[in-house]
Amino acid sequence: MGRKAAIIGGGVIGGGWAARFLLNGWDVAIFDPDPEAARKIEAVLANARRSLPGLYARALPPEGALHYHDDLAGAVAGADWVQESVPERLDIKHEVLARIRDAAPQDAVVASSTSGFKPSELNEKDAGAIVAHPFNPVYLLPLVELVGASEATARAADILRGIGMYPLILRKEIDAHIADRFLEAVWREALWLVRDGIATTEEIDEAIRMGFGLRWAQMGLFETYRIAGGEAGMRHFLAQFGPCLTWPWTRLMDVPELTDDLVDLIAGQSDAQSGHCSIRELERLRDDNLVAMMRALKRTGSGAGGVITAHEAMLPRRDTGPDGLPVTLEMQVPTAFVDYNGHMNEAPYLDVSARASDRFMELIGADAAYIAGGFSYFTAENHIRYLAEIDIGAQITVTTQALGGDGRKLHLLNRIWAGGDSPAATVETLLLHVDLTTRRVVPPGPELAGRAAAYVADHAGHPVPDRLVLGRRD
């Protein structure tokens, strides 16, 4: 029999909890008096189904069953976990938690999504609840702050790990827990900056997402500053930048004094956290993570990814490669392309070839504007030959030879060079010209066909491999 989670309150957070449990195989019961609750939750579920499985290289368990209830007692009956996500008003939470206590199984975990209230406040009427404060979107972000009785939070932590979350158990209760205290401090400072005309909302967001937001995403605060201290580490950072705490850099001037005891405490904890790595190792880890994140952002043009795309468009292109054919791609092999054997693995060869083919499409006029007009080329077949290893950091160049085509077809050979006298790989590819409205193969217009034919004729004198899987000429 499957496990059951009851979600009380189906807003943004409640819907996220429902998606997280449901997509991890739990049955989910939802109670929310809002007549639009089901529609809103189904929209959240659609986003979760689109995104969460993409994080994994294994299939998630089959989805559980989803039920909507007209009464709270029916929703919590038989539940292993009850998540309260009603509005952030203590009187409402007291009333809802009391009803949950009366109707839920005695051994169920009862948790509140509250972002500010402490368990002692929630349990003024003996509700027996803990705080399980998540972060939006709940179905993607792993952090959950757990606050409450040690036995209950330990049990909750085990359950949450089972649905792919990262439970952070607080040592003691405090208003707004840990993460929201940071966010609140940043938020207050941002409000002052806007009020005083120092920066706009957009400029403040850019300051975060173009800089320290990327560092925080993979190293947090203290490990980031440990690197800033250089080889001397955190103690040196505190000595160098500690005096800034007394300078008027912020409206939030109630700061602790950096006593010797506090410096020793922070430096000791930082050593325990990161001392097993040298600064150079931490820097390389940071850089690898930043490259991976920024390449992901580049795909959507978001944040720093848009800056990279704009800069890339300004960089000069080389016209011809070592074989006299058009250069369609030049790049350095990123760490994400490298496997456990230390060289580029299979999939990136197709990635590189696809980018080169896209560039060749641009050369003959099948560019973004052409595609927006309703036509494009679709890849029908690929054949890769791996001729030499390509290592991390290698500078690769791709040249493209137009082997032939009858108008509907485009037959290309992409050669991948990595500094030697001969290609490190070849990718033979066959593309078909497609009407994007009907999704049918159709001939291109005379202008595009003429450009393609001109390249085929120009490249006819260049040598080709003896073995062409897709045919020597079309």
pLDDT surpassing 50 at residue 209: yes
356 contact partners, CB below 8 Å, separation of at least 6: 328, 329, 398, 400, 414
* pLDDT over 80 at 405, yes or no: no
Q: Is the peptide bond before 61 cis (omega within 30 degrees of 0)?
A: no
* Three-state SS at 269: helix
Tens digits of residue pLDDT in 62-121:
999 999 999 999 999 999 999 999 999 999 999 999 999 999 999 999 999 999 899 999
Lowest mean pLDDT among 9-13, 43-47, 238-242, 379-383: 238-242
Binned at pLDDT 50, 70 and 90, residue 473 comes out as very low
CA-closest candidate to residue 471, choices 405, 422, 417: 405
Compute and round to an integer the Cα radius of gyration of the chain. Answer: 29
Query: What is the CATH code of the structural domain delimited by 4-177?
Result: 3.40.50.720
* pLDDT of residue 471 exceeding 70: no
Q: What is the mean pLDDT of the chain?
A: 90
Q: Quick: pLDDT tens for 300-338.
A: 888 888 888 887 887 788 899 999 999 999 998 888 888
Tell me the β-bridge partners of 81: 5, 109
Q: What distance in Å separates the CA atoms of residue 195 and residue 203, rounded to the nearest whole number?
A: 13
Scanning the structure block, which residue is given the tokens 């506090």? Answer: 262
DSSP letter at 428 equals E
Distance CA 23, CA 16 (A): 11
For the domain spanning 316-459, the CATH number is 3.10.129.10
pLDDT value at 244 more than 80? no
